[in-house]
Structure 1
């Protein structure tokens, strides 16, 4: 069977929504209990298409079987940061498809101009954490789960979220003066 990995299209919205729902209802991998309403998912995908944000899908038999999207962080001041979210339907895991989706999405994210990409992965998901580390992500910290709205359904699982980030090393942020950011600290004369 041929699996196509490509940027999402409007025709994929319903299938994408269904795939998110399947993975969300597992209560293991996503910070969701169920898929958002179809109207919200539609608006999300349309915005990603319109703005050119990286959102890749894996397609088999014209159905979305996995996704990786990297929209910008929600606060405008953090527009240089992409927030990565991905998932695969259960029967497609362990076949290298997650790595392929991630790799192609990261290439698109670099081309889009993100300087940093962030994600969270549950501590009881070592396979995903290993995949992200292989792609150059490093751990920034661990957030204890306080059993709020998305931790509650994870009963029986370790309630911690590892914060991971990936920097794009070949680009440095510009300062207000237009100069590239500091690579080394040099004392200035008084």
Structure 2
């Protein structure tokens, strides 16, 4: 399967939203259960483009099959920190898409001058945790019962990467 990873462009917004919505509706990985309103998604993407913040997409046959973004934290004392979000559509997992996305987004974050990248990941998501560890992320803590879906609790693992 061939795919291309590149910085997101305005023309990708609708396809990006579809991908986010699809992964969210799986109810296994993201912090929301459906895609956010398209207007919010558009604003998020355009803000990343305008400010040159890392946001990349993987395309297969011109459709977004995965994404990775690193968003700045909103206070001056945290200006060196980015928060990472990533997702890959189910049929494309385990084929190197997530790794390609993460690699490019982290390179962009370095170029942007970020020195700390943070993320949370659900404890059951061992493939993602393994990928993050491969890139140097370390576990900094556990948020017990951080997620509740259908009266079932799940822990979040808090991880971070420090650029030297």
Q: How high is the TM-score relative to the length of structure 1?
A: 0.83
* RMSD between superposed Cα atoms in Å: 1.3
Higher-helix-fraction structure: 2
Instruction: Give yes or no for contact 1:122–1:161 (8 Å, CA) kept in 2.
Output: yes
Q: Match for residue 85 of structure 2?
A: 85
2:20 equivalent to 1:25: no
Question: Matched residue of 1:152: which SS?
Answer: strand
Instruction: Give yes or no for contact 1:33–1:153 (8 Å, CA) kept in 2.
Output: no
The 1:154/1:121 distance shift into structure 2, 3 A limit, reads: farther
The alignment covers a number of residue pairs equal to 164
Instruction: Give the whole-Å Cα distance in 2 for the aligned partners of 1:107 and 1:155.
Output: 39
Instruction: List alignment gaps of at least 5 residues for structure 2.
Output: none
- Pick the structure with greater CA Rg: 1
Instruction: Give yes or no for contact 1:143–1:160 (8 Å, CA) kept in 2.
Output: yes
Please point out which of 132, 137, 159 is paired with 2:154: 159
Q: How high is the TM-score relative to the length of structure 2?
A: 0.96
Instruction: Give yes or no for contact 2:138–2:161 (8 Å, CA) kept in 1.
Output: yes
The 1:154/1:168 distance shift into structure 2, 3 A limit, reads: farther
2:102 equivalent to 1:95: no
Structure 1: 4+ residue segments shifted above 3 A: none
Instruction: Give yes or no for contact 2:148–2:154 (8 Å, CA) kept in 1.
Output: no
